[in-house]
A = this chain, B = another copy of it.
Amino acid sequence: MQKVTIATVARRAGVSRQTVSNVINTPDVVREETRERVREAIEELGYRVNQAARQMRTGRSRLIAVRIEPARDGINGSVLDRFLHGLTDAAGLAGYRVMLYTAGGDADEIATYDELLNAYDLDAFVLTSTHHGDPRTSWLAARDVPFVTFGRPWGAPDTHSWVDVDNAAGTAAATSHLLSAGHRRIGFLGWPAGSGVGDARREGWHRAAGLSALSATSSDGVEPGAAAAKSLLSRPEAPTALVCASDSLALGALQAARELGRDCAVVGFDDTAVAQAIGLTSVSQPLAEAAARCMGLLTELLDGRAPSLPTTVLLPPSLVVRQTA
């Protein structure tokens, strides 16, 4: 099977190479009849535009890059993977492909940008896990590289487009659910202040639960969560329900309650595999939609019809009610 180029198609359809190119890139400029004939030839020959050649001419690769992270504590790591899947789907629909890379830290990641940009002419980046003082966004912005972030620019002005999930709304919904189930003392188990995501999750609970409610903080993980929950449940006026900043913490809370022989409703966050497996009520992020919206913003950027102001998208999470609350 010989390689099929634009010339092969042209010969088959009895037109010039240029006409074939027009049919592909600017169809409306070609007469209906000719267009049809060319399309048939393309079909019959199974012709596909060669990206490398196109890229060399246009300087665009139709490739976008995303970093794949190691599955950190494993329990919450799957969030990124579901996002990745959604992004690959959405990119494919828009005629783009997703390229993966790994990086050890921000500096390492920036070096990778440089390489990817120079060697592969990447069209855009999707950044995840944004954090306070993130150097990646400013690097990209300084070079006019198109990008969107999944996660808002914590502590920085909105100088670029982003998509995020309304974390506060998630914990607020969880708290409301507990309130309407009759709970009156609803506690919060979260991370130490300073992480944007963690603070937002606390704030949503705080708003809905009222001032008198108890809270505790611990680093993420089942063990630390159990310890913190235990101290919370041992106080006078102990909460009868706990909203947690992650499924890991929620699992810890569940263990603490069991060990103490206490009945305590628990809600987690992220609706991970663990939550599904053990019947933990949890706040679920709309990851496929988030990915699709990221891709949508990106195509706007790449097609040049970018709005003058950066677009921001805040998606509401949903509560998945199971046995624990």
Using a CB–CB cutoff of 8 Å, the interface residues on chain A facing chain B are 4, 46-53, 55-56, 61, 63, 68-71, 73-75, 77-78, 81-82, 84-85, 88-89, 92, 97-102, 114-115, 118-121, 222, 248, 251, 272-274, 276-278
* B contact residues around A77 at 8 Å (CB): 78, 81, 273
Question: Given contacts A48-B115, A88-B100, could you give 11 more A-B pairs where the C-beta distance is less than 8 Å?
Answer: A46-B118, A50-B118, A52-B121, A68-B81, A68-B84, A70-B85, A75-B277, A88-B102, A98-B99, A274-B277, A278-B278
Closest B residue, CB atoms, query A4: B118
A174 to chain B, nearest CB (A): 20
Q: How far is the CA of A84 from the CA of B81 in the complex (A)?
A: 10
Nearest B-chain residue to A95, judged by Cβ = B119
Residues of B within 8 A of A101 (CB): 88, 92, 97
Contact status B97-A102, CB under 8 Å: no
Q: In the complex, which residue of chain B has the Cβ closest to the Cβ of A287? A: B71
Q: Give the 3 A-B residue pairs with the shortest CB-CB distance, closest first.
A: A48-B118, A74-B273, A52-B55
Smallest beta-carbon distance A102→chain B, Å = 5
List chain B residues, Cβ under 8 A from A222: 277-278
Given A78-B77, A89-B102, A100-B98, the answer on whether A273 and B71 have CB atoms closer than 8 Å is yes
A128 CA / B251 CA spacing, docked (Å): 32
Give bound CA distance, A55 to B61, whole Å: 13
Given contacts A222-B277, A273-B273, A278-B278, contact A50 B121 (CB under 8 A): yes
Bound Cα distance from A274 to B101, whole angstroms: 26
- Contacts known (A52-B52, A52-B61); A85 close to B71, Cβ less than 8 A: yes
Set of chain B residues within 8 Å of A48, measured between Cβ atoms? 115, 118-119
Give the contacting residue for A97; candidates B75, B120, B274; CB below 8 A: B120
The interface residues of chain B lying within 8 Å CB-to-CB of A274 are 75, 273-274, 277-278
- The chain B residue sitting closest to A80, CB to CB, is B81
Closest to A70 in B: B85
B102 touches A273 (CB 8 A): no
**A55-B70 Cα distance, complex, nearest whole Å:** 30
Shortest distance in angstroms between A244's beta carbon and chain B's nearest beta carbon? Answer: 13
Contact call A99/B102, Cβ cutoff below 8 A: no
Q: For residue A221, give the distance in angstroms from its CB to the closest CB of chain B.
A: 9
Measured in the bound complex, the distance between the Cα atoms of B143 and A46 in whole Å is: 15
Residues of B within 8 A of A276 (CB): 73-75
Contact of A84 among B100, B119, B273 (CB under 8 A): B100
Instruction: Tell me the minimal C-beta distance from A220 to chain B in angstroms.
Output: 12
Which residues of B sit under 8 angstroms from A100, Cβ to Cβ? 84, 88, 97-100
- Given A97-B120, A98-B99, A46–B114 Cβ distance below 8 Å? yes
A-B contact pairs, 13 of them (CB 8 A): A52-B56, A68-B84, A68-B88, A75-B273, A77-B273, A81-B81, A92-B102, A97-B99, A100-B100, A222-B277, A222-B278, A273-B274, A278-B278
Q: Which B residues lie within 8 Å of A68 (CB)?
A: 81, 84-85, 88
